[in-house]
Homo-oligomer: A and B are copies of this chain.
Amino acid sequence: MSKDYGQFCGLAKAARVLGERWALLIIRDLSIGSRRFKDLHDGLPGVPTSVLTARLRELEEAGVVERRAAAPPHRGVVYELTPYGRELQPALDALGRWGALRMAAPEPEDIITGSSLAAALRAGYQPGAAAPAATYLVHAGPATAWAHTEGGELTVGAGPPEADPDLVIRAGPQLRLLLAGRLSPAEALRRGMVEIEGPHAAFEAFAAAFQVPLEADLHSAETIGEGRS
């Protein structure tokens, strides 16, 4: 293995598998749900098909990704994470939170996908917020994702949810500031930055349950008691 770092170190072994270009984003999308080759290609603009093929093969060989025959309605293949790959979730979420620390507003060329939105919601979930069971449908610009909270447990997905949502949130890039706690739910509605369909209280619960801090707010967020240990 010429790509191995030659160190008996978990981080070194992880870096060998995850350090290749596009690998983390492929895993991000698969961590939200199973995907076909085209789904991945569409959700990762810029990845050459050759690289996507190579990466999927490597991840399969590493035991992170599994290639399966698609369910009856479709034909072809679907890719999904193995149980070993699903163990990556805490690390993915931690990395995502770190990367979001300096991500206040999108660059002009930045896109948002359903999978990345779902991953952000998962990374920001506060199990301690103890919200009532609810299903949220979130539109951030062109991207759509859903989250279902129930008894401290969270389920997320890209696209619209199967069940009818309790609350629909329609926002633009301002959603980032809401998740960072920079913008209160009431203020967001008052200024027209976010539109909702559903009870106001559900929106308050959403804002409390999903928090992705910005670097400058780290200390204050912790002292307020919303911080992650």
Contact = CB atoms under 8 A, between A and B. Distances in A.
A152 to B, nearest CB: 10
Interface stretch (A18-26, A65-73, A158-166, A202-210): A18-26
Interface string A188-225: 00000000000000000000000010010010000000
Contacts of A129: none
Interface residues of A, number: 59
- Among A4, A9, A119, A176, max chain B CB count under 10 A is at A9
Contacts of A9: 25, 28, 96, 99, 112-113, 116, 119-120
* This chain's copy number in the assembly: 2
A130 interface: no
B8 A106 contact: yes
- Among A20, A24, A120, A212, max chain B CB count under 10 A is at A24
A102 interface: yes
A14 interface: yes
Contacts of A11: 24-25, 28, 92, 95-96, 99, 116, 119
B10 A111 contact: no
A121 to B, nearest CB: 11
A123 interface: yes
A129 B82 CA distance: 31
A46 interface: yes
A98 B10 contact: yes
Contacts of A61: none
Interface stretch (A33-41, A49-57, A83-91, A131-139): A83-91
Contacts of A92: 11
A45 B4 CA distance: 11
A101 interface: yes
A186 interface: no
A26 B29 CA distance: 27
Interface of A: 4-15, 17-25, 28, 44-46, 63, 84, 87-88, 90-92, 94-103, 106-107, 109-113, 116, 119-120, 123, 173, 176, 212, 215, 218, 228
Give me the 5 closest cross-chain CB pairs, A-B, nearest first: A14-B99, A10-B100, A10-B99, A9-B116, A91-B94
